[in-house]
Amino acid sequence: MKAKVLAVLLVAMALGPAWALKPGDSLPESVANVKMKGVDGKEVTLKELMGPKGLLVIFSCNHCPWVKAWQARMVALGNEYSQKGVGVVAVNSNDVTAYPDDDMEHMIAQAKEHGYRFPYVMDATSDVARAFGATRTPEAFLFDAQGKLVYHGAIDDNAEKPQEVKKTYLADALAAVVAGKPVPVAETKALGCSIKFRQAK
């Protein structure tokens, strides 16, 4: 029995955290200054990317069907609000050894193809995702100007059918942050592929 419990714990550690930051939590200091290489070849940190209105961190990747379904909307929001005082970054935390389609070469191609006008960076240890408690791609974390989490969850309520979206969670949260107003919905269930965590060291 002890062996089975240990095996379950080891699998859980490999998969990543079973919790996530909650609204009101701060940007995790443990990873705020971690340098992550982007598709432009430059290294950036989350602290550097914080904008005067806040910071949007979206855990993403290249191969996930959920990312592909939401990608146009995700990129449109990122491009729009990066011009409105919100720092925006897409973070790929997947293990590229196990999933070669998520390597930097494919990241560069994806950012170019879909017109990313914000950083798309590699979380080379998966530690940034672990610090956030992120488990899905895509999974959004929006912080306000004070570095407090005000929205966590999905892009909207319909990945597959954009024309049938009724709840634009992330768009509403971004608009509220820029306007200095309370976010209407602070948390939703993140839907997507599981993050393919690198082995914790």
Least confident of 9-23, 89-103, 142-156: 9-23
DSSP element (H, E) containing 112: helix 104-114
DSSP state, residue 93: -
Q: Residue 181's domain is classified under what CATH number?
A: 3.40.30.10
What confidence category does residue 5 fall into, taking pLDDT thresholds of 50, 70 and 90? very low
Instruction: Give the residue numbers spanning the domain of 56.
Output: 2-194
CB count within 10 Å of CB 101 equals: 14
Q: Please check whether residue 201 lies inside any domain of the structure.
A: no
191 close to 66: Cβ distance less than 8 angstroms: yes
197, 14 Cβ separation under 8 angstroms: yes
**Count of domains for the chain:** 1
Residue 199 lies in a domain: no
Question: 156-178: per-residue pLDDT in tens?
Answer: 999 999 999 999 999 999 999 99
pTM confidence score: 0.91
In a domain, 200, yes or no: no
User: Which residues pair with residue 85 across a beta bridge?
Assistant: none
Q: Is residue 12 part of a domain?
A: yes
Contacts with 195 (C-beta within 8 Å, 6 or more apart), sequence order:
16, 59, 61, 93, 94, 126, 129, 134, 135, 136, 137
71-98: per-residue pLDDT in tens? Answer: 999 999 999 999 999 999 999 999 999 9
Residue 10 pLDDT exceeds 60: no
Give the length of the chain: 201
